[in-house]
Amino acid sequence: MSIKSTILGFPRMGSDRQLKKLVEGFWTGKATEQELVEGSKKLRADHWALQKTHGLSEVPVGDFSYYDHVLDTAFAVGIIPDRYKQLDTAGTQAYFAMARGLQDKSIGVDVPSLEMKKWFDTNYHYMVPEIADGQKFVLHSTKVIDEFNEAKALGYAARPVVLGPVSLLALSKTAKGSSSKPLDHLANLIPIYVQLLSQLATAGAEWVQLDEPVLALDLDSHIYKPAFEQAYGEFAKVSGLKYLLTSYFDRLGDNLELAAALPVHGIHLDLVRGVADLDKALEIVPQEKVISAGLINGRNIWKANLEKQLAILTKIVGARKSVWVSSSCSLLHSPHSLRPEAGHLDDETLGWLSFAEEKVEEVATLAAAVSNPDSAKAQLEANAAKVASRKQSERITRPHVQQRLAALDRSFYNRKAEFTHRQQLQHASLKLPVFPTTTIGSFPQTAEVRKARAQFRKGTLSKAEYQEFLDSETRKCIEWQDEVGLDVLVHGEFERTDMVEFFGEHLEGFVFTKKGWVQSYGSRCVKPPVIYGDVSRPHAMTVDVARFAQSCSANKPVKGMLTGPVTILQWSFVRDDQPRSQTAGQIALAIRDEVVDLEKAGIKVIQVDEPAIREGLPLRKADYDAYLKWSVDVFRLATTGVNNETQIHTHFCYSDFNEIFTAIKSLDADVITIENSKSDLKLLGALEVHGYSAEIGPGLYDIHSPRVPSVEEMAARFAALQKYIPAENLWANPDCGLKTRGWPEVKQSLANLVAVAADARASYAARKASA
């Protein structure tokens, strides 16, 4: 049997983050739009060539994006909110304004970006389309058709990738001032999809990949079953096209019967996270339909156990007429290639790993192993040896770490007193004003900071010289915060490249790649560390920096800044040979030791960030309780070793918090700072439903946009918050860290924020005086 080998998508950024440089060059005026277009075209061609060279029989197209594929789809079908229609919608101006916001006094434009949310349970962020009452849809962009024609002209067998209409609307939100639900607009959207699909058929496409990832969620069948049937019933009328229906990140579960019955020609199964679907799928998916077997993990970096995956594939081939081999999901979530890591990682570790390029090879090897077993014999033997090497390595296990975690009792998970008592002691100790101001942690990583770091790593700047530079930057940062009037300061994190990588570099059980970059949002890339073994802290990680930073301020507290165990776990590539909860517990003990040492060093406010705690929530509600139990436990394990006077902060961002607000309360943090500005104050709904008795700082402005928020804009937001949150519990702060912003916009934005808090204090004092 000849089996098609393919993947659901490929990383966009390039082997050396070429797309990041192209896009940022365009934003700063260093590159023209034509240079952006041509550079991106070359990058796509390079990626298709790589996939073909490594043995794929068909390449996906349309998975490329300047910023985000959900934004691309919304833009393509004309979901462009009115505030952007004053801009050039034919080129990239309106598109990037929707992504980043645009503030340009020369043309009288000041528009915020769309809301940003996490893409299911990944660290990728998508832009949330806004659907207004009376929404008009139009085929506004032919991007996917153009890219299909590019690939076709280069001689590739190509499959266009399109985000399906049901998922597009399910991931959208109702525009402010509108009352209709996004899915109410499906009937009007379907003809635009039909138009797009018809043009793809005319262009010569044989197959189209329709991504419907919401099929991995718990869906109301009364709403979604007719929605899918309506849309795909119309798509079936387009002559000359075959459809591969894809979902990923979890099992289809109770949606499998719906997917199997739709008039499509193939069903993709995520057989890494959804292998439980397989037996039923083999039973109910009609024989004339292709089964696309997602056997290679698109979300982790460990070399696949090809012997194990081949056994699953053989089972499928024995039961089906037509089978494809693929990645479990798009390889967007994997680094580009292992090639730059040769000579950087040790040979043993290198042999355990597989990035996007290597995963393409694994897909092709599985297909070859069925089609022509002798042709894949050498690759399978080499793979088996590497899998065995990892399993047998003595570097993986540290008995003292496992013994310490196993010996804990429940006393390690509780503070010494309840919050109300702690709050009294903390207010007496810190002496902060009402509506205290702070930031989330990082300050701009300027070109000078990056240059000094690069020089230090190359050896052209000595350790002493680099430390002197960092001390100078820290001192200047704290002095400016003091001068502008912030109440609780931060040191700026100039020594850190990344909030997870920094801690991994100081913990045992981690290794670090040279160019293992993964897209997080837009042009922002992260380089996740790799957790290969048991985790422990051999020495203090932040105490010296925190002690120095506190010495730079005469009378204001400076926060100790740590990343929490769940976020370190979520934003790393995690070992898959033990439960994630066990690895998280090991990390929590390391952070606990650091928290205790910070307190001993005189740090009175310690922030343990958990922006990824919502991201880790399973997609299926049946799996929620187990995850929330251990994720709350590991945060408490990390933070409960201090005295009542020490104020513990945490931070969350860019997620729907309603589903986990009870868990957030259970963390027992003294202060939480939480994203709020991009989500139209949706947090207020959670507060109204669930209540919150501890202190809280909902973000007053979006830091992912370069625009500077006005005093009036933030004041209106802060006034709304005061209706729900008692004055003694309310903080003023940005949405997130300021690492990616420039100093001029940061200074003006924070000056405005401090002014908002000052005005609020004056009004509060006046109200108290008149009461």
pTM score of the predicted model: 0.92
Mean pLDDT, range 579-594, rounded to an integer: 98
Binding residues: 20, 123, 440-442, 493, 524-525, 571, 609, 651, 653, 675, 736
- Nearest alpha-carbon partner for 578 in 341, 406, 737, 438: 406
What type of residue sits at position 201?
Answer: A
| Options 47, 336, 649, 704, the catalytic residue | 704
- In our burial notation (b when 16+ CB lie closer than 10 A, e otherwise), range 429-462 reads ebebeebbbbbbbbbbbeeebeebbeebeeeebe
Residue that the structure tokens 């370190």 belong to: 568
- In our burial notation (b when 16+ CB lie closer than 10 A, e otherwise), range 67-101 reads bbbbbbbbbbbbbbbebbeebebeebbbbbbbbbb
Binding residues for Zn(2+): 651, 653, 675, 736
2-8+56-392 and 419-506+541-770 share one CATH topology? yes
DSSP 31-52: S-HHHHHHHHHHHHHHHHHHHH
DSSP 372-425: -GGGGHHHHHHHHHHHHHHHH-TTS--HHHHHHHHT--GGGGS-SS-HHHHHHH
* 103-116 per-position pLDDT tens digit: 998 889 999 999 99
Residue 533: pLDDT band (50, 70, 90) is: very high
* 357-368 per-position pLDDT tens digit: 999 999 999 999
HSE of 745, CA atoms in CB hemisphere, 13 A:
19
Binding residues for L-methionine: 440-442, 493, 609
* 342-383 per-position pLDDT tens digit: 999 999 999 999 999 999 999 999 999 998 899 999 999 999
- Give the CATH fold of the 419-506+541-770 domain: TIM Barrel (3.20.20)
- Annotated catalytic residue 704: yes
* 166-177 per-position pLDDT tens digit: 999 999 999 999
pLDDT of residue 165: 98
pLDDT of residue 1: 64
Count the helix, strand and coil residues of the chain and give each as a percent rounded to the nearest 5: 50, 15, 35
- Nearest alpha-carbon partner for 342 in 359, 355, 333, 360: 355
Domain boundaries, the chain: 2-8+56-392, 419-506+541-770
Q: Does domain 2-8+56-392 have CATH number 3.20.20.210?
A: yes
Query: Is residue 732 over pLDDT 90?
Result: yes
Q: Which two tokens stand for residue 506?
A: 């100081």
* 188-227 per-position pLDDT tens digit: 999 999 999 999 999 999 999 999 999 999 999 999 999 9
Residue 704: pLDDT band (50, 70, 90) is: confident
